Structure 1
Amino acid sequence: MSTIALRDVAARARVSAGTVSNYLNHPHRVAPRTAARISSAIKELGYVSNHAARQLRIGSSTTIGHVTFEVGNHSFAEFSAGAAERAREVGFSILIGSDGGTVEGEAAHLDLFEAQRVRGLLLSPVGAFPKRRIEQLRDRGIPTVLVGARADTDTCSSVSFDEVAGGELVAGHLIEGGRRNLLFVGGPLGIETVADRLTGARQVVRRTPDARLEVIEVESRTVAIGRAVGLAIGRRPAGERPDGVFAANDALAIGIMNGLREAPGIVVPDDIAVVGYDDSDFGAGALVPLTSIARPGRQYGRTAMDLLHTAITRSDGRHSRVVFQPQLVVRRSSAAS
């Protein structure tokens, strides 16, 4: 199958190759009637522009790489929509690479995006802040904005969420509702956001003399794993069950409620209150509507892209750290009737 070239489009539209190039790169320079002929020729021939080659020629990419460990949850979808929306407004597009939740996968995607000469990176780190690697990318002309973790502002900007405060809100809400035997379900605890939520909960429990906090670490935060935890809780003797569960995300919380519903005699929230995190639509619409922590997902994404755009267009070396605050949305899963 032969490849349609730019010169073929030019011949069909009866213009020069330079005019077609202007149409693709600087459409405002092309007269409307000429632009219409070129557009028609492109559609008729099925021409696809070699965007990557053009970027190499002009020495500037319009692609942003986003390396993240979790693409299936509600908060990522909202963040991604906001970031992509803002990227389009400033002339960029975002390419997402999921690292599978491993440091090795993260490193491989950073290498891949560097090789592709992306213009900048959004990075949701799996583990510790990869300062040296980010400095290398910066020195090679690829600025990075850290997402969901606090950055050393000498190195790069970051946008994050006050996860400790979120954990405090959840534990405080459960304790104010009379719950004293709390259970935190989340993990891996090496992920900063999950660990910070647990830290916040622990701080509240320590201030409450008759409260206790059990921790179940899980390898991933899915409905299936949550259900397994809920079933395990249901098999415990009544006196050994928690009366309040803090799940590190809504998927876990929904799974836990599903598992508890299969245990005879356990009613959510009368016997066990359940609170999630991320305030997803499916949590709000669950059979027992889920109490959760809301995050301004789209604004979160737009802010991250704003910070990266600033890093791309400004070379003064200044960086910002933006921290969003949590909001507790109370529903029936934690409000006993």
Structure 2
Amino acid sequence: MDSRPVSIKDVADRAGVAVGTVSNVLNHPTRVSSSTRERVQTAIDHLGFVRNDAARQLRAGQSRTIGLIVLDVGNPFFSSLARAAEDCAAENGSTVVLGDSGQDVEREARYIDVFEQQRVQGMLISPVGDVGPRVETLRKRGMPVVLVDRVDAQRRCSSVSVDDVAGGYMAVRHLLEAGRRRIVFVGAKAEFQQVADRLAGARQAVEEHDDAVLEVVEADAMTVLAGRDVGGRIAQRPPGELPDGIFCANDLLAIGVMQAVLLIRGLRIPEDLALIGYDDIDFSASAVVPLTSVRKPTELMGRTAVELLLEEIESPSSRRRQVIFDPELVERGSTTAAVHAAG
């Protein structure tokens, strides 16, 4: 049995027409008579022909595909952002192909290579480290790029991000207003600009209170399991060395910390320990103790990133824009009772 894909020539032979006629039926149907179109369509249906759209796009030098590279597709923040990007792209006749760098620089570079080889329309990248030099190279080759969840300070390309310094300040100020003074910041890999910015904002808030201290605890990753490990270590401290407030660089870390301090030490949240996360993923509201979090406009970020990319594709000489959204504090049970008590 012949297992090779059905070709356009097979369709032409079956319909008794030229290959060019089949091509016109597929791409310019108005150029072909209705009877011939019907004959070609009957052959397509009978043979089960599927057009090779990727090959067609390569020949035409055009694509309707956008490459999106995120840090961790397992993080609901990025999966929600990707869904919004897909929806916006679909509304504009494009599709999104997703790559998960796993917070690995080499893996990120491989995805960039693959997307460039596939001649995607453009790329949306939530970078692991400094991708500036690579972005410059891509743009010189005519590949539009938009950074996601990261500002391009040098304005080499457009970007969509949140003011994470303000978000970090907002989170820790909230803990300070609850009367907390021994605060721990939990984050991973300070080279992530988002983590560094949230820590910078946290430090600004603490500096406004002479009696407050901020301790930085590094997690192995930005995951629930990593948060559980950090929370376990904190929970095992002597009573006099326990913090009374914890700010985690994302909600996954915060949920892990919450699980550990509740199960291992039996601490009460927020009475003994006020806890706040970042991103406001869907799981936050349904945690054992509903988690206070700093919200980022995830869907708006995904849609805006695609819109900026399509804007550059349409007008390559258009001005690069840095869109920075404001974060929003969402108070829930992991801090709210403590704030009310302090008030």
TM-score, scaled to structure 1? 0.91
How far apart are residue 327 of structure 1 and its match?
0.7
AA of the residue aligned to 2:49: Y
How far apart are residue 22 of structure 1 and its match?
4.6
In structure 2, the residue matched to 1:134 is 135
How far apart are residue 10 of structure 1 and its match?
5.0
Of 232-241 and 29-38, the range deviating more from structure 2:
29-38
How far apart are residue 2 of structure 1 and its match?
2.5
AA of the residue aligned to 1:61: S
AA of the residue aligned to 2:336: A
Which secondary structure state, in structure 2, belongs to the residue aligned with residue 335 of structure 1? helix
Of 234-243 and 67-76, the range deviating more from structure 2:
67-76
In structure 1, the residue matched to 2:224 is 223
How far apart are residue 302 of structure 1 and its match?
0.6
Q: 1:12 to 1:120 in 2, by over 3 A?
A: same
Of 146-155 and 11-20, the range deviating more from structure 2:
11-20
How far apart are residue 91 of structure 1 and its match?
2.0
Question: What CA RMSD, in Å, does the superposition of the two structures yield over aligned residues?
Answer: 2.4
Is the Cα–Cα contact under 8 Å of residues 187 and 219 in structure 1 kept in the other structure? yes
Which secondary structure state, in structure 1, belongs to the residue aligned with residue 139 of structure 2? helix
In structure 2, the residue matched to 1:84 is 86
How far apart are residue 294 of structure 1 and its match?
1.3
Note if 1:69 corresponds to 2:71. yes
Q: 1:239 to 1:29 in 2, by over 3 A?
A: farther
Q: How does 1:88-127 map to 2 (within 5 A)?
A: 88-127=90-129
Give 5+ residue unaligned stretches, structure 2.
339-343
AA of the residue aligned to 1:216: V
In structure 2, the residue matched to 1:303 is 304
Of 324-333 and 96-105, the range deviating more from structure 2:
96-105
In structure 1, the residue matched to 2:176 is 175
Is the Cα–Cα contact under 8 Å of residues 153 and 319 in structure 1 kept in the other structure? no
Note if 1:8 corresponds to 2:23. no
How far apart are residue 239 of structure 1 and its match?
1.2
State how far apart, in whole Å, the 1-side matches of 2:28 and 2:121 are.
20
How far apart are residue 66 of structure 1 and its match?
1.5
Of 104-113 and 186-195, the range deviating more from structure 2:
104-113
Which secondary structure state, in structure 1, belongs to the residue aligned with residue 120 of structure 2? coil
Of 132-141 and 178-187, the range deviating more from structure 2:
132-141
In structure 2, the residue matched to 1:238 is 239
Is the Cα–Cα contact under 8 Å of residues 219 and 230 in structure 2 kept in the other structure? no
State how far apart, in whole Å, the 2-side matches of 1:33 and 1:298 are.
47
How big is each residue's C-alpha offset from its partner over 1:171-197, in whole Å with a ceiling of 9 and x where there is no partner? 011111111111111111110011111
How big is each residue's C-alpha offset from its partner over 1:68-99, in whole Å with a ceiling of 9 and x where there is no partner? 22211111112111111111122221112222
State how far apart, in whole Å, the 1-side matches of 2:268 and 2:29 are.
63
Is the Cα–Cα contact under 8 Å of residues 67 and 99 in structure 1 kept in the other structure? yes
How big is each residue's C-alpha offset from its partner over 1:183-233, in whole Å with a ceiling of 9 and x where there is no partner? 111111110011111111111001111111111111211111111111111
Give 5+ residue unaligned stretches, structure 1.
none
In structure 2, the residue matched to 1:214 is 215
Q: 1:152 to 1:172 in 2, by over 3 A?
A: closer
AA of the residue aligned to 1:274: L
Of 311-320 and 296-305, the range deviating more from structure 2:
311-320
In structure 2, the residue matched to 1:161 is 162
Residue among 36, 57, 60 paired with 1:58: 60
Q: 1:278 to 1:21 in 2, by over 3 A?
A: farther
In structure 2, the residue matched to 1:199 is 200
Alignment coverage as a number of residue pairs: 336
State how far apart, in whole Å, the 1-side matches of 2:98 and 2:183 are.
37
In structure 1, the residue matched to 2:341 is none
